[in-house]
C-alpha cells in the first residue's frame, strides 16, 4: 500500500543554516506518528515543508504517492484539502470570531452555508471543551490554552484525511491535555485520519502515537514503535525522554 506521506532525503536550509539534513520518513494511512526533538531542531519546519509552505532544496515529498514539489496550483489546492494543521502559535484569524475561525475551512474551502457551518463549528468547540458562547468571542479575548483548543477545533473541522498537530498540548493543564490526547486518538481511530504530531510532552507522545521519531541535528536518528521508546538502545533518545541535562545532547550554553 502506498504510504500516506513519504519523505525521502529532504534537505532544508535557511541561508548557511542547515535545518533538515536528509529526512526519510513514511507514514501509513491511519497511522499516528509523533516527532520529538529538541527545541529549534526543525520539527515545525518539517511539517511546513510537507504542507508546501516552505520549499525544501532537495528531496522528495509524496502525499498519497503524488510528488508535491513543483506541483501546479490546481493540484496543490486538491492536495491541500486533505490536510488540517494545528499551528504551534495557533495562527487564529484575529479579525474573525471564534466560530468563524473554526468554520473557515467549511465556509471558504468547501463553500458550505454559514448556518450549517456554524453548527459544526459549535460541535467541534464542544469536543475541545469550549462552550458554545465562546464561539461569539474574538480570539484575542481568549486565554492561550483556549486559543490552542480553538485552533485544534479548526484543524479538525473539515474532517481532513491528514492532520498535523504542532504541540497540541503545550500550554494546557494536565487534565485538558489528556482530553486533547483522547480527541487526537479518536480522530485517528474512529475517523481514520493519518496524524503527524510534534510534542515535547512524553506522556502525550506515548498516548497518541503508533510510532515515534526523534529529530536531532537535521536527521531522524531513531524511528520506532511507541512501546519501544523506553528501550530504544539509543542514548540520545534516552536522554531526551528522561529530560536529563547531562548526556550526548549538549545544549549550546555559555556559562
Ligand X SMILES: Nc1ncnc2c1ncn2[C@@H]1O[C@H](COP(=O)(O)OP(=O)(O)OP(=O)(O)O)[C@@H](O)[C@H]1O
Q: Which residues bind other proteins (CB under 8 A)?
A: 48, 51-53, 77, 80-81, 83-85, 87, 89, 91-95, 104-105, 108-110, 154, 158
Considering CB distances under 5 to 8 angstroms, the limit depending on partner class, which of ligand X, Mg ion, other proteins, none binds residue 108? other proteins
Nearest residue to the partner Mg ion, using Cβ: 44
Closer by beta carbon to other proteins, 114 or else 244 = 114
Considering CB distances under 5 to 8 angstroms, the limit depending on partner class, which of other proteins, ligand X, Mg ion, none binds residue 60? none
Distance in Å, CB of 128 to other proteins, minimum? 17
Radius of gyration of the chain (CA): 18
Rounded to an integer, what distance in angstroms lies between the CA atom of residue 6 and that of residue 27? 6
Closer by beta carbon to ligand X, 39 or else 115 = 39
β-pair type (58-63, 32-37): unpaired
Distance in Å, CB of 167 to Mg ion, minimum? 6
Q: Which residues contact 244 (CB under 8 A, 6 or more apart)?
A: none
Distance in Å, CB of 38 to ligand X, minimum? 7
Considering CB distances under 5 to 8 angstroms, the limit depending on partner class, which of Mg ion, ligand X, other proteins, none binds residue 89? other proteins
Distance in Å, CB of 21 to ligand X, minimum? 12
Contact by Cβ (8 Å): 175, 205: no
Considering CB distances under 5 to 8 angstroms, the limit depending on partner class, which of Mg ion, other proteins, ligand X, none binds residue 53? other proteins
Rounded to an integer, what distance in angstroms lies between the CA atom of residue 27 and that of residue 25? 7
Closer by beta carbon to Mg ion, 35 or else 150 = 35
Considering CB distances under 5 to 8 angstroms, the limit depending on partner class, which of ligand X, other proteins, Mg ion, none binds residue 19? ligand X
Distance in Å, CB of 19 to ligand X, minimum? 4
Closer by beta carbon to Mg ion, 88 or else 239 = 88
What's the grid cell of residue 105?
Answer: 475551512
Task: Please state the separation of Cα 236 from the chain's center in Å.
Answer: 23
Task: Please state the separation of Cα 88 from the chain's center in Å.
Answer: 8
Task: Please state the separation of Cα 63 from the chain's center in Å.
Answer: 15
Closer by beta carbon to Mg ion, 164 or else 236 = 164
Considering CB distances under 5 to 8 angstroms, the limit depending on partner class, which of Mg ion, ligand X, other proteins, none binds residue 135? none
Distance in Å, CB of 239 to ligand X, minimum? 16
Interacting residues with ligand X (CB under 6 A): 14, 19, 37, 39-45, 88
∠ CA 86-91-96, rounded to 5°: 115
At CB < 8 A and 24+ separation, what contacts does 121-129 make? Answer: 121/153, 121/157, 124/153, 124/154, 124/156, 124/157, 125/98, 125/99, 125/150, 125/153, 127/153, 127/156, 127/183, 128/152, 128/153, 128/179, 128/180, 128/183, 129/176, 129/179
Amino acid at each position: 500500500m502506498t504510504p500516506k506521506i513519504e519523505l525521502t532525503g529532504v534537505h532544508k536550509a535557511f541561508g548557511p543554516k542547515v535545518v533538515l539534513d536528509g529526512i526519510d520518513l513514511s507514514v501509513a494511512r491511519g497511522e499516528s506518528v509523533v516527532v520529538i526533538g529538541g527545541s529549534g531542531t526543525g520539527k515545525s519546519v518539517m511539517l511546513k515543508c510537507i504542507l508546501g509552505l516552505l520549499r525544501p532544496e532537495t528531496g522528495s515529498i509524496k502525499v498519497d504517492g503524488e510528488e508535491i514539489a513543483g506541483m501546479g496550483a490546481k493540484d496543490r489546492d486538491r492536495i491541500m484539502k486533505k490536510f488540517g494543521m494545528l499551528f504551534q502559535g495557533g495562527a487564529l484569524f484575529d479579525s474573525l470570531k471564534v466560530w468563524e475561525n473554526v468554520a473557515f475551512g467549511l465556509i471558504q474551502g468547501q463553500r458550505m452555508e454559514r448556518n450549517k457551518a456554524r453548527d459544526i463549528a459549535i460541535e467541534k468547540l464542544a469536543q475541545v471543551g469550549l462552550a458554545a458562547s465562546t464561539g461569539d468571542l474574538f480570539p484575542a479575548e481568549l486565554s492561550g490554552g483556549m486559543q490552542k483548543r480553538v485552533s485544534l477545533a479548526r484543524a479538525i473541522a473539515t474532517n481532513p484525511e491528514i492532520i498535523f498537530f504542532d504541540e497540541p498540548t503545550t500550554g494546557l493543564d494536565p487534565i485538558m491535555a489528556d482530553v486533547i490526547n483522547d480527541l487526537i486518538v479518536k480522530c485517528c481511530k474512529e475517523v481514520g485520519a493519518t496524524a503527524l504530531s510534534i510534542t515535547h510532552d512524553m506522556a502525550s507522545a506515548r498516548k497518541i502515537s503508533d510510532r515515534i521519531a526523534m529529530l536531532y541535528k537535521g536527521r531522524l536518528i531513531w524511528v520506532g514503535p511507541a512501546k519501544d521508546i523506553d528501550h530504544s538502545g539509543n542514548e540520545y533518545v534516552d536522554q531526551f525522554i528522561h529530560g536529563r541535562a547531562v548526556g550526548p545532547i549538549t545544549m549550546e550554553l555559555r556559562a
